[in-house]
Amino acid sequence: MFSELAKGLATTFKHIFRKPVTVSYPEQRLPLAPRYRGRQFLVKDEDGLERCVGCELCAVACPADAIYIEAAENTDEHRVSHGERYAKVYKIHMLRCIFCGFCEEACPEDAIFMGKEFELASYRRDDFIYDKQRLLLPLREAAKQRPELLQPGTGLGMGQHYEPVAQAAGSRP
């Protein structure tokens, strides 16, 4: 019995003078891993158009059935995205989301990205339904979470490149 007690105390004393690995959150914060997947955001380009074209590939790829989309047609009078259609309704149910990143992987328009935000707590269930207004970020704001968004040739799939020249709304097909 005494040998077990001595072993236990030895372990305790071994750790007493070591530097603590814990931090006093939220005053102190550990750096996030570069590829950390926090809550998603949708990108609005500098020409004012949304990248999302409402194709629903992200919703199909989502293993948690967390994404709900209703698409609508762009018109010359009312253009929202670069494509033929746009997401009239785009919602992510954060209580279902498992932050796997499949939605980002599936998106052919580089419209949705996993961000770095992780403080999503709320007392109300409704707060966990993130609609388009909460998800949309202007490109420059989005790049604060994913800096590669501003680097040509990186962070953009399907061979796309970021073009910093602002284009007039409706000038792209």
Q: Which two tokens stand for residue 154?
A: 């990186």
Which of the ranges 5-13, 27-35, 104-112, 144-152 carries the binding residues for ligand SF4, by CB under 6 A?
104-112
Which of the ranges 17-25, 27-35, 97-105, 144-152 carries the binding residues for ligand SF4, by CB under 6 A?
97-105
Which C-beta is closer to ligand SF4: that of 46 or that of 68?
A: 68
Find the binder of ligand SF4 among 87, 135, 142, 143 (CB under 6 A): 87
Which of the ranges 14-22, 64-72, 149-157, 165-173 carries the binding residues for ligand SF4, by CB under 6 A?
64-72
Find the binder of ligand SF4 among 45, 49, 69, 142 (CB under 6 A): 69
DSSP state of 145: H
- Map residue 147 onto helix, strand or coil: helix
DSSP state of 170: T
Q: Which two tokens stand for residue 169?
A: 């709304």
Beta strand 112-114 with 129-130 is unpaired
